[in-house]
Amino acid sequence: KADFTQKYSQFIADNINKLGEYDSIMEIGVGEASTFANVLPKLNSNPKHKIGFDISWSRVKYAEKYLKSKDINDCLLFQADLFNMPLTDKSVDIVYSAASIEPNGGREAEALRELVRVARKYIVLIEPDFELADQKSKERMTRHGYIKGLYETALKMGLEVIEHKLTNVAFNPLNPESLTIIKLEQHGKSNENILACP
């Protein structure tokens, strides 16, 4: 598990590092911050705002402790719903997911709309890829209500997908994941007032 976490976090950091400058980064569905805490030290830059949220309050409380145990004390963590984030429009330069949209089958467009609302420069998605999976994996994903057609949904929404490929770092071979990077139009500076009433 520890070896996988390091490889997974390195893969995420490598793909974020190639995106250029940014002042803020957020992991959606941060959970206990096991990925977030390992991605942050691998980034080429030290963003001013490091943000994470999860729908589970108890997981966020654990994440706070875990980040502190790694000497990361400058993160903003909070409990929130992916579909109604308490953030202002265009307030975060890079928003990424690590299998956090996964259990929301049928709500792909809704999730992407909310991510586009808060993200300013890029959205980096590492999520299960039903379309590139084998039959056994597709059956499992369907049984669990996982997302389908995230890449196709992004294209239908007119989003600029600059990269889409199967990763080689999925924890479960029956749950193959893809990297999808969406580039957004930038207008002015990022919003310094990050938090807002949802």
pLDDT tens readout for residues 37-80: 999 999 999 999 999 999 999 999 999 999 999 999 999 999 99
pTM listed for this prediction: 0.96
pLDDT tens readout for residues 156-194: 999 999 999 999 887 888 899 999 999 998 766 666 789
CA–CA gap between residue 124 and residue 7 (Å, rounded): 17
Q: Which residue, among 43, 52, 3, has the nearest Cα to 19 in the 3D structure?
A: 43
- How confident is the model at residue 186, as a pLDDT? 78
